[in-house]
Amino acid sequence: MAIAAFAWSSFPIIAYALYADLRYSAHRMTIRIAIGCLILSFGCASRTAEGPVSDTAQEVSDEEKVLITVEPPVLVSIVPGAKAEEIPRDCTNAVEETCNALDDDCDGVIDDECGYGAGLIQVTAAWDTGSDIDLYVTGPLGDTVSFQRPSTPIGAELDHSGRGDCSPDMPNPRVENARWVGQRPTVGVYEVELHYWGECISGGGPTATTVSVAIGRQIAGQFRATLLPGERVRVVRFVIQ
């Protein structure tokens, strides 16, 4: 009887202890959830729904400084390939820039504000179907920049690689852009090729392509060529010094 009385008199103390323990556990859980959310927010801060964010203002500023401080290359010659033809350039009626591998506003930068960059050399390709077209630029030392090798030790980088309807949700899926930054490009001969990799299910067939080349922020030439599935074509060859 005494034991029962003791247990009954101790019930409020035990109940309060359990309540306090539950409150403490809930508090700890709340803190853990808050810390987890904070970590996730830091991890996602540099990305958007479309993927990596565009260059920051500081990165753009640094790129501009490089273009100013490094002596720009000089174009010696530029010649289209056998299956390509030059697109006449007319800057008497410059228009607003669009992401089409042409310098529509005639400022010397191909597709500025499109999410990919200029450089001491800039080579941009665009196409008009849902196919996957790949850009290859080979330098004087035999080094090729492409989706297979998006950067080289001498400053070349493929900073935008479109996949047509194979990745339709990415920004500008029908454009590829290569550029040379950070150091002066090697003197010599450069070859620009396009490869018709695949038709991407919903789009394909003969594909009209456009390629523009800028040397030291001046348009060296712009060209067009039509590719068939599986075809690899040299669109242009140019020489710099």
Number of domains in the chain: 2
Query: Are 15 and 132 within one domain?
Result: no
204 and 127 within one domain: yes
Question: 30 and 137 share a domain?
Answer: no
Give the domain extent around 99: 54-240
Both 14 and 94 in a single domain?
no
pLDDT of 68-97, one tens digit each? 578 999 999 999 999 999 999 989 988 999
Position 22 pLDDT exceeds 80: no
In 3D, which of 124, 100, 148 has the Cα closest to residue 215? Answer: 124
Whole-prediction pTM: 0.73
Distance, in Å, from the CA atom of 98 to the CA atom of 106, rounded to the nearest integer, reads 12
Rounded to the nearest integer, the mean pLDDT of the chain is 80
The confidence band for 19, taking pLDDT boundaries of 50, 70 and 90, is very low
pLDDT reported for residue 203: 72
Same domain (yes/no): 205, 141: yes
What pLDDT is recorded for position 18? 38
* Statement to judge: residues 39 and 151 lie in one domain: no
pLDDT value for 182: 86
- Over 80: is that where the pLDDT of 48 sits? no
pLDDT for 66 equals: 52
- Find out whether 126 and 101 touch, Cβ atoms under 8 Å: yes
Residue 60 shares a structural domain with residue 38 = no
Instruction: Identify whether residues 126 and 175 lie together within a single domain.
Output: yes
In the predicted structure, residue 192 carries a pLDDT above the cut 50: yes
CA-nearest of 167, 68, 61 to 117 is 61
Same-domain status, 36 and 63: no
Judge if 77 and 99 occupy the same domain.
Answer: yes
Same domain, 37 and 64: no
What is the identity of the amino acid at 238?
Answer: F
Rounded to the nearest 5°, which phi and psi values hold at 104?
-60, -35
- Let me know: does 113 contact 177? Beta carbons within 8 Å: no
Are residues 133 and 230 both part of a single domain? yes
